[in-house]
Structure 1
Amino acid sequence: MKLAKRVSALTPSSTLAITAKAKELKAAGHDVIGLGAGEPDFNTPEHILEAAVKAMNEGHTKYTPSGGLASLKKSIIQKFQQDQGLEYTLAEVIVCSGAKHALYTLFQVLLDEGDEVIIPTPYWVSYPEQVKLAQGIPVYVEGREENSFKITPQQLEAVITDKTKAVIINSPSNPTGMIYTREELEALGQVCVKHDILIVSDEIYEKLVYDGNEHVSIAQLSPELKERTIIINGVSKSHSMTGWRIGYAAGNKEIIKAMTNLASHSTSNPTSVAQYASIAAYNGTQEPVETMRQAFEDRLNIIYEKLIQIPGFSCIKPQGAFYLFPNAIEAAKLTGFDTVDAWVEAILEEEKVALVPGSGFGAPENVRLSYATSLELLEKAVDRIQHFMNNHMK
């Protein structure tokens, strides 16, 4: 059977592919250390689990409004006010089945065929695929390593055309862990205002920030930037709720209304019990969020120092999220491999360490390692990579 063109143009998720391969080897009895998946290794906090059980016992297992429970929207609005000083109304917020679904729905209502979306590289793997599914055209701008993988206003302005509809800003970034400063965001924002383009601000890692760095939302910098920004966020990373699938978008009410209409014909509504759990996530104690953040920072500080000792590795220390994104092209060449992809595949086969090649993020010389796993496993993984290097270096 002939499939739709939009499906044939898709590139499979490299993160899910490497995770699947690792699970396959593990099922075959191998001692595999997976550093590919982008989810915290902590369980969802107890008070959130209890709220879900309470919701089920009280019969909150039916359809909800397509755009999410008003009570959850109010919790999200309160969170914006407390964290960024941003004011939103119920009509300016939609709850979706994960932040990924919020992005997908946004691009579906925003883009017509041929519309362009500027995507800085390295990028999260799903951005270009979601743009293409909406018949849009991804336009890539290189976030150079010497500039901490961040784009400049000059680079942004150079690729804007009369077909440019939006630019994506992901800070803290997956896969690099880099954070745009207030000044950098202001400069990028001036270009967006000048050319009247929408800003899609993916802030899913906002709570995971280290070394005294600050997360700033571009929407909080001025009323005119808030007006043209759609914030994407959710509870997946901040509250270790990846499987609950609750994300949201906030911004222009006409865009949010269109997203809600589309959601009514695609998902009907986000999972009811997960919404009640998310209310508890935002309204309850935030102590588990800080405990998890501190654990990630401790792991980062230890494992980063070990990682940069590996021959052929160079790595900018991340400021947020839970990924390291070293340049590994020299490591690959030192061991006889022409590409980082081939090097990653060999390490999985020989040392049973699952890494994600940077090619899936638009950075083929790099590799992504998630430190959302125990320090013991992280140290063992680095030892295995070092062992591989020792065995293969010429």
Structure 2
Amino acid sequence: MSATDNGFRADWAQKDFYKELGVAKDASADEIKKAYRKLARANHPDSNPGDTAKHDKFKAVAEAYDVVGDPEKRKKYDEMRELYGSGAFRGGFGGGGAGQGGFNLDDLLRDQAGRGGGFGDMFGDLFGGGGFGRGRQQRSRPAKGPDVETSATISFTDALEGVTISLRLTSDAPCPDCKGTGGKPGTKPRVCPECEGAGFVVASAGGAFSINETCPVCAGRQLIYDESCPTCHGSGRGMSARTIQARIPAGVKDGQRIRIRGKGAAGENGGPAGDLFVTVKVSPHRLFGRKGDNLTLDVPVSFDELVLGAEIRVPTLGGAPVTLKVPAGTPNGRTFRVRGKGATKADGSKGDLLATVEVAVPGTLPADARSAVEAYRAAMADRPLRSKLFEEA
């Protein structure tokens, strides 16, 4: 088992937790606790919003106290520091081979796999069985806020051209009154007596193993208030209602999901906001349809225009009409392509307009027109259109 498999980090052995707390190596347990509480109060994020340096100091102090504030962990830490100072780790922590003097990191960690005793247990127990760096430091990191889902209906034209819309959003967010602390505004917090400010407690997982669990009293916040916030009842969370402006890009399709970064719910501990996902619904147009990046249009024509040929004008969406040249003998249902008159593509270019000609049959005919159609029927009587149907059947 290598050092990487155990989550081992060399920087733990090189850190001076006593110096971080400002106490001597032989300081008493009471002196260590007193120093920690003083530094925790002075550097806590709730008391220093926006001060990154003090936030980092608070994390470092909590990390140090988690180790030297526990008698058993402190003993093992001192042993590890002494071993490190003697040069036994001179070969480094990155590999599993032997260093100078025959030291082998794999041998040191092997006991953690269940062979009992030794420094493997020391490393496993030192940070709650979770590997180096998985306890206090990880819990205090800022966390990205949840993503938010919503939908919006826009017109067919807006979908092609792009549009900015207003969205009314309701999402989970830090309580606006207590700012996420869970305490009654105006009251001061105190260090949680259950976890002593660590934010977590160590629970047995059976045998020689233990795991870190979120403190049930402070819910991982490290501090508690004697009076809960009357708005969120101590949860630190609430609902946020806001209106934002969202840009829907040109060419969006019906049912497409648009991602807007940083417009989701607020983050935890100063973390970034989540993202907003908008599912776009496009209303149909009364004339035009859409097929991918192309627009479609059904164009009514007369029988004689297809037989004799014609030039016909057709509309485009949001632009000037265009003229289609229909050749003589064009079959009903033929589609003509008009370049560059379609929807906007992702690269900024445009699709085409697909115009399909369809014969419009009049419901009634004036006498002269009816006579002309009857004359046409008589002229074509010896050319039955459906003869091939029976031949091939």
TM-score range, shorter chain: under 0.3
* Bigger Rg over Cα: 2
Higher strand share: 2
TM-score (norm 2): 0.22
Higher helix share: 1
Say which structure, 1 or 2, has more relative contact order (CA 8 Å, 6+ apart).
1
TM-score (norm 1): 0.22
